[in-house]
Amino acid sequence: MNRPTDDLGIRSDTSRAIAFSDAVFAIIITLLVLDLRVPDVPPGRLLSGLLEQWPGYVAYLASYAYVAIVWLNHKSAFNRIKESDRGLHWVNLFVLFTTALLPFPTAVVSDALQKHDQQDQRVAVAFYALIGALLCASWLAFFHYLARRKDLLREEVSERHFPAERVRALVGVILYVAAGLIGYLVAPLAGLAIFVVLPVFYAVTSAGLYQVPLTRRMARRPPTSGS
């Protein structure tokens, strides 16, 4: 009687969390283009102006691929989640927070690499790596939460799935820190190159690293229809 509320806010299905997250990822991945600007060059120099912006295109590509991987990860994780609670909402909002930051270091890297100060370029690449590592750290928190909350997961989810994902997130933290150190200590462009490669590496391993029996299963469903 002295309970003025009810059960409705405590557990809920994940549909709104998914819709909200999808919209956030969609906006982030699309906002990146706002940093590709008409080059501010004298008349007749548009072509070289466009070409000289190449670090902006590379940074755009790296961040686009990163957000795409984040979305695929998110989709794959929520496919395994049955119900969400407040704690899951907050770790999810932490993932969205770090992902939403990404356009900022992307702009910083793009800008620094189009100017010619080595020290600023080192700082910019290190800054991008910092946010990249923070994003992996938010996934670590997300997977860690789920590894301990089997009651939120669908029954058929393997007990070892989220602990294994946790390892992948931790490797991501380490790789971004390493890329930042290489970019800062060795050469900024080397760091940028790693930022482009890392999502590709992730895309490949996410479907292959610990999913050995996958090939066998795929073989049962022929990828090209022979009929």
Residues 81-100 close enough to bind a copy of itself by CB under 8 A: 86, 89-90, 93, 96-97, 100
Q: How does DSSP classify residue 225? A: -
Q: What are phi and psi of 12, to 5 degrees?
A: -155, 160
Residue window 34-53: x/- pattern of binding to a copy of itself, with contact defined by CB under 8 A? x-xxx----xxxxx--x---
Calculate the alpha carbon distances from 136 to 33, 107, 121, 173 in Å. Answer: 23, 20, 23, 5
What is the rounded distance in angstroms from the CA atom of residue 59 to the CA atom of residue 113?
A: 10
Applying CB under 8 A, among 163, 171, 189, 193 the residue interacting with a copy of itself is 163
Applying CB under 8 A, among 82, 141, 144, 161 the residue interacting with a copy of itself is 161
Applying CB under 8 A, among 141, 171, 178, 203 the residue interacting with a copy of itself is 203
Q: 75 or 190, CB closer to a copy of itself?
A: 75
In this structure, the number of other CB atoms found within 10 A of the CB of residue 8 comes to 7
What is the rounded distance in angstroms from the CA atom of residue 209 to the CA atom of residue 214?
A: 10
Applying CB under 8 A, among 52, 115, 185, 205 the residue interacting with a copy of itself is 115
Residue 186 beta carbon to a copy of itself: minimum distance, rounded to whole angstroms: 18
What is the rounded distance in angstroms from the CA atom of residue 209 to the CA atom of residue 201?
A: 10
What is the rounded distance in angstroms from the CA atom of residue 98 to the CA atom of residue 93?
A: 9
Asked if 75 touches a copy of itself (CB under 8 A), the answer is yes
Q: 64 or 195, CB closer to a copy of itself?
A: 64
Residue 203 beta carbon to a copy of itself: minimum distance, rounded to whole angstroms: 7
